[in-house]
Amino acid sequence: MAVSKAFAEAATAVAWPLVVLVIVYMFRATIKSLLSRVREIKATGVELLLHQLEQQGQLPVGGRAELQGLTAHDIWALDSFASGLKQTAAMNNPQRVAARTLLDAGLLVLKGSGEQREVEITPLGKKLLEAARALL
């Protein structure tokens, strides 16, 4: 009885990988055809925005490398800075970190000094937001 129970457990553990292998084998020609057309896979929508700006000739030389590490959260933060949150004194810590990231990427600039210091969106930042708005 213990042997049959062990065999059943082993069969259960091996069943789903076997099913996957059978399915891949059955559709191998289709999968091969699809994979031959893929040049690269990107996980973020930001890559799509950068590609769109590059195609339109609106991305400055070296701009793609500078903006490569941006996330969708960074675009969201850029939009919030563009639509009202500007004074650095009013920012909380996460907003300050987001602003620093966007400053380093050349999407924001600092204006003023002391308590009057604010962030302002750059022309490149505006283009990136326009491209993001045009996605959907």
Give 104-116 as a DSSP string: HTTSEEEES-GGG
Range of the domain at 85: 45-133
Which has more pLDDT, 57 or 72?
A: 72
Q: Do 117 and 90 share a domain, yes or no?
A: yes
Q: Do 70 and 105 share a domain, yes or no?
A: yes
Q: Token pair of 31, please?
A: 């999968």
**Secondary structure class of 77 (helix, strand, coil):** helix
Q: How many independent structural domains does the chain possess?
A: 2
Overall average pLDDT of the 3-7 stretch = 78
Contact predicate 47/86, CB 8 Å: no
Q: Do 55 and 101 share a domain, yes or no?
A: yes
Indicate yes or no: pTM above 0.85.
Answer: no
Look-up of token digits 């769109």: 52
Q: Do 13 and 75 share a domain, yes or no?
A: no
| pLDDT tens-place string over residues 101-136 | 888 888 899 888 888 888 999 888 887 787 777 765
